[in-house]
Amino acid sequence: MTDPGPAPAPASPKAVADIVRFDVLQRVQHALMLISFTTLAFTGLVQKFATAAVSEAIVRLLGGIETTRIVHRSAAVVLSAVAIYHVVDAAYRVFVLRTPLTMLPLVEDFKHLYQDVMFYLGRRNRKASYGRYSYAEKVEYLAVVWGTLIMGLTGFMMWNPLASVRWFHGQAIPAAKAAHGGEAILAVLAILLWHFYHVHLRHFNKSIFTGRLTRQEMHEEHPAELERIERGAAAPRPPASVLRRRQQIFIPAAVVFVAAAGFGMFRFVTAETSAVAIAPPAETAPIFVPQTPTPTVPPPPSPTPAPVASSTWAGGLGDLLGQRCGACHGASALSGLSLSSYASALQGGTRGPAVVPGDADASVLVQIQSTGNHAGQLTNAELAVIIAWIQSGAPEQ
Amino acid sequence: MSRLRWMSAFLILAGALLIGVQGAQANASAQGVSNDTCLACHGRPGINLTLDNGDIVPLLVDASMFASSVHGQQGFDCVQCHTTLGNYPHPTFHAADRRDFNTQLYRACQSCHQNEYEKTLDSVHEHARAAGVPEAALCTDCHGAHDTRRLTDPQTHELRSDARTWIPRTCAKCHSAIYDKYLTSVHGAALVGEGNADVPTCVDCHGVHDIGDPTTATFRLKSPELCAGCHTDPQRMDKYGLSTQVLNTYVADFHGTTVTLFEKLTPDAVTNKPVCFDCHGVHDIRRVDDPQKGLAVRENLLARCQRCHPDATADFPDAWLSHYIPSPDRFPLVFSVDLFYKILIPGTLGGMALLVGLDVSWQVRSRLRRRKGAPPEAPAPLAGHPDLPAEESAGSANGPPEEPGVPGAPTDGSQEVDHD
């Protein structure tokens, strides 16, 4: 939170040493936060605005929505780890090094804001004289703390909805989603407007990467802090013995805190498998269940053949042929063949005489029936009677 | 030139069509076989075909039934479908069993209904048959053979409303268990019970000839659009007082967002996120206030949640907004959070923008002034350690050397020196 840099004794305005502003770990914190925040912003906003074409393109690039969510949650874990580290780091500065809480907003910051507004309005001839952190920076810091808390809490609730409803009302889950989305938009727009303006556009302040500001930059942006450093008023490092005594209390406490936070994080990530991996089948009814029995028209009974009294046309063979063949070869005389009379049977149809007395092989009726595939197929017994009748000269009477 | 070519192409095409049609008719009449000829034999009982398995199939055609069918009404000849039977004796015909008999004869349909036939080649039925399920539906199983009915309006080609009510009974011939469920649904009860043509019949969801497999991931991912086809149509929904926001609210939710993105990016991938029918049911969709299954009844909704979230507790269903848009009455907490951010975001950003704007305008003004050679608004001091008395700077109890600076000026210190 505060970092009493060494106070160089400037020899002349032209040859001044840089002021150390951030130590390595602070710069690492910022770098990790920058990476995780950017990742969270991209992978989160594409979920919030999932139907936008650009979101679709980004999700496609990331390999689908499930991968996007894994990336989002991984970045959330990194950011949470940074937050835990930051708490330990700040506590060390406050409780062990006993440096002042230079990031906390004070009445002075409201005064500076008022002075700056007066300056912009031409009522004052210079801007406020900022200390180690200006109100602009404090606003950002508070926004990060507030944002991380909100995002962490609401993110936890969406990640673990079943566990969350044990502690909150069910409605808290969609409320958490609303807050997560609203806070995301606020954070991203604030970064773009406030952060980018102050440290990129207005003046590209690289100190969070290099750790240093030139004396001139310090003079322009943090005049009161520069003065404090050069006056030698920076908080002195406590003597080694005092430091050791405080560390003996701090380190176990910090270990407990980190272990607890780490365990909490682990639970956060692994505790809940809220849903089944594969959705149960939506339709459980069997697919093919024919209505039983499949309605079919039963074949009509075949007409009972008339008893063949004697081997003559009039003695029963004429009736047999009439019943068994008459549907086609009766009045309708299909293929020219009518079996309704003895004479027409001898005459035959388009393919020749149906009956040739004394010669069954030459009779077309026998020829066709012998293939066994006629639409009006006679039984073997019936056919045998007919063949015998023909061989015996096919008597009419 | 090109117009001429178009014209001639059109004429050739039209001519080809005409010849084709005449050819088809000429073919039938060339055989010179009237339906009466066929019915002379096939109009009376007695002609049977014995199949290879011993089954006997009557080859009887009910003349009055055919006459009232769509083909009979239009005067089609038997031999236009039974093209090989124009002469007697008929060519030999063998079929292993009744199914084989139907499977051989249904091919006649494609000579006129080629488009529909080709669609069926992609259908779940055709795939089932290819996989060795001979029972899978053929044209004639659904449409009948000699009793084919007209299903669409000849002018609009839309499904006739009475045909809509026949369809479930047709599908029920093979899918009777699903039909029984459908009858219990809000859709089935309205269609079959009341003849209400507003509700979906089988083919509205499953398609007609190219009926797809409804158990695939692809069908599942597409299904919300299917339901939305009617459920986002105000004309239809207003009649029954139903919300048309069901798709929006679904897509805005975690489940719907996932399904929508899956559908767009990987339409054949499996997701465990629910679609409409996972919660509302498939064939047994009830009214939401149905005491047994309606999802507006809290216990029923919880039971639905628990199908996928087995550990869900009684409060869990409220985690889903039930297609409502949060309002002070419904989901007031969500409404309040939304409202809070609707104020906080513009409030915060507005304040920031105001200060940034003030700073930018001051920078622009001071730069313009410098260019004109006028003295800068504020004296830009040399970077040094002067010992001016503290004026208003807080935290300067010991009178820090405070310089009236140009904090926001370009960082190049040497420029500042020049202007001093």
Task: Tell me how close the Cα of B116 comes to any Cα of chain A, in angstroms.
Answer: 23
Distances in Å between the Cα of A98 and the Cα atoms of A102, A236, A254, A257, A322 are 11, 9, 16, 20, 124
| Reduced 3-state DSSP string for B223-247 | HHHHHHHHHCCHHHHHCCCCCCCHH
Cα–Cα distance measured from residue B180 to residue B168, given in angstroms and rounded to the nearest whole number:
10
How far does the CA of residue A108 sit from the closest CA of chain B (Å)? 6
The DSSP secondary-structure symbol of B267 reads T
What are the chain A neighbours of B56 within 8 Å (beta carbons)? Answer: 299
Q: How far is residue A195's CA from residue A199's CA, in Å, rounded to a whole number?
A: 6
Residue numbers of A between 158 and 217 with CB closer than 8 Å to B? 158, 161-162, 165-166, 169-175, 177-179, 181-183, 185-186, 189-190, 193-194, 197, 202-204, 214-217
ipTM over 0.90: no
What's chain A's average pLDDT?
87
A218/chain B closest Cα distance in angstroms: 9
**DSSP string computed for B195-215:** --TTS--HHHHH-STT---TT
Using the beta-carbon criterion (under 8 Å), do B352 and A10 form an inter-chain contact?
no
Minimal Cα distance from B44: which residue of A?
A: A327
- A372, closest residue in chain B (CA to CA): B92
- The pLDDT > 90 percentage for chain A reads 51
Lowest mean pLDDT among A185-194, A199-208, B120-129: A199-208
Mutation target among B97, B171, B352 for the A interface, most CBs of A within 10 A = B352
Least CB-CB distance to A171: which of B334, B362, B377? B334
C-alpha distance from B185 to closest chain A C-alpha (Å): 13
Residue A68's pLDDT band, with cuts at 50, 70 and 90, is: very high
Contacts of B261 in chain A (CB under 8 A): 50, 56, 59, 64-65
Do B334 and A280 count as a contact with CB atoms less than 8 A apart?
Answer: no
User: Which residue of A110, A114, A159, A162 is the best one to mutate when testing the B interface, meaning the one whose CB has the most B CBs within 10 A?
Assistant: A162
Residues of B in contact with A173 (CB under 8 A): 318-319
Identity at B371, one-letter amino acid code: R
Say if residue A293 is preceded by a cis peptide, omega within 30 of 0.
Answer: yes
CA distance to partner chain A, nearest, from residue B105 (Å):
16
pLDDT in tens, chain B (420 residues): 455 555 555 555 554 444 444 434 434 444 468 888 888 888 887 788 889 998 888 899 999 999 999 999 999 999 999 988 877 778 888 999 999 999 999 999 999 999 999 999 999 999 999 999 999 999 999 999 999 999 999 899 899 989 999 999 999 999 999 999 999 999 999 999 899 989 999 999 999 999 999 999 999 999 999 999 999 999 999 999 999 999 999 999 999 999 999 999 999 999 999 999 999 999 999 999 999 999 999 999 999 999 999 999 999 999 999 999 999 999 999 999 999 999 999 999 999 999 999 999 998 988 898 888 755 544 444 434 444 433 333 333 343 443 444 444 443 433 333 333
Interface test with A, best of B62, B123, B385, B416 (most A CBs within 10 A): B385
Query: Helix, strand, coil % (nearest 5) of chain B?
Result: 55, 0, 45
Nearest to A189 among B266, B309, B349 (CB): B349
Contact A291 B176 (CB under 8 A): yes
| Mutation target among A202, A213, A292 for the B interface, most CBs of B within 10 A | A202
**Measured between alpha carbons, how far is A385 from A365 in angstroms, rounded to an integer?**
13
Measured between CA atoms, the residue of chain B closest to residue A323 is B46
Which residues in chain B have Cβ-Cβ distances shorter than 8 Å to A305? none
**Disruptive mutation site among B169, B318, B417 for chain A (greatest number of A CBs within 10 Å):** B318
Interval A273-290 mean pLDDT: 86
Q: Do A170 and B337 touch (CB under 8 A)?
A: no
* Residue B377 with chain A: CB contacts under 8 Å: 122, 125
User: Do the Cβ atoms of A186 and B47 come within 8 Å?
Assistant: no
**B353-362 own/partner pairs: CB under 8 Å, 24+ apart:** B353/A193, B355/A116, B355/A117, B355/A136, B356/A193, B356/A194, B356/A197, B358/A116, B358/A117, B358/A120, B359/A120, B359/A197, B359/A202, B359/B408, B361/A120, B362/A119, B362/A120, B362/B408
CB B74 within 8 A of CB A328: no
**Nearest CA-CA distance, residue A42 and chain B, Å:** 16
pLDDT at site B8: 57
Query: Exposed, middle or buried, A134 (CB in 10 Å: 0-12/13-18/19+)?
Result: buried
Whether A2 shows a pLDDT value over 50: the answer reads: no
AA identity, residue B95: A
Instruction: Report A:109-138 residues touching B (Cβ under 8 A).
Output: 111-112, 115-117, 119-120, 122, 125-131, 136
Q: What is the pLDDT of residue A275?
A: 82
Inter-chain CB proximity A334 and B173 less than 8 Å: no
- What is the pLDDT at residue A58? 95
pLDDT of A250: 96
pTM: 0.77
Say whether B413 and A228 touch across the interface (CB within 8 A): no
* Nearest residue of B to residue A334, measured between CA atoms: B88
Please provide the size of chain B in residues: 420
Whole-angstrom Cα distance, residue A347 to residue A356?
9
The answer, yes or no, to whether residue A351 has pLDDT greater than 90, is no
Angle in degrees, CA B305, B308, B310, rounded to 5: 80
Across the interface, of B47, B175, B411, the residue whose CB is closest to A287 is B175
CB pairs < 8 Å spanning A and B: 303
Read off the pLDDT band of A4 (50, 70, 90): very low
**Hey, is A128 helix, strand or coil?**
coil
Q: Is residue A284 classed exposed, middle or buried when 0-12, 13-18 and 19+ CB atoms within 10 A define those classes? A: exposed
Chain B positions in Cβ-Cβ contact with residue A165 (cut-off 8 Å): 313, 315-316, 318-319
Q: Which residues of A touch B341 (CB under 8 A)?
A: 178-179, 181-183, 185-186
Residues 84-103 of chain A whose Cβ lies under 8 A from any Cβ of chain B:
none
Q: What pLDDT, in 10s, does the model give residues A84-108?
A: 999 999 999 999 998 888 888 889 9
Contact A125 B404 (CB under 8 A): yes
Asked if A308 is an interface residue toward chain B (Cβ–Cβ < 8 A), one would say no
Q: Is the pLDDT of residue A328 over 80?
A: no
Virtual torsion, Cα A256, A259, A263, A264, nearest 10 deg: 60
Q: Is there a contact between A193 and B403 if contact means CB atoms under 8 Å apart?
A: no
- CB contact under 8 Å between B41 and A16, yes or no, is no
In sequence order, what DSSP letters do the residues of A311-366 get, joined into one string? SSIIIIIHHHHHHHHHHHHSSS-GGG---SSHHHHHH-BTTB-S--TT-GGG-HHH
Mean of the pLDDT values across residues A333-362?
Answer: 86
Cβ within 8 Å, pair B341-A185: yes
Indicate yes or no: CB of B349 within 8 angstroms of CB of A282: no
CB contact under 8 A, B359 and A228: no
Give the pLDDT of residue B62.
Answer: 92
Q: What is the mean pLDDT of residues A315-331?
A: 78
Q: How far apart are the CA of B110 and the nearest CA of chain A, in angstroms? A: 24
pLDDT average, residue stretch A209-234? 88
pLDDT tens sequence across A8-26: 444 444 445 788 899 999 9
The whole-angstrom distance between A92's CA and the closest CA on chain B is: 24
Residue A101: per-residue pLDDT: 85
In A, residues 351-390, which contact B (CB 8 Å cutoff)?
Answer: 368, 371, 373-377
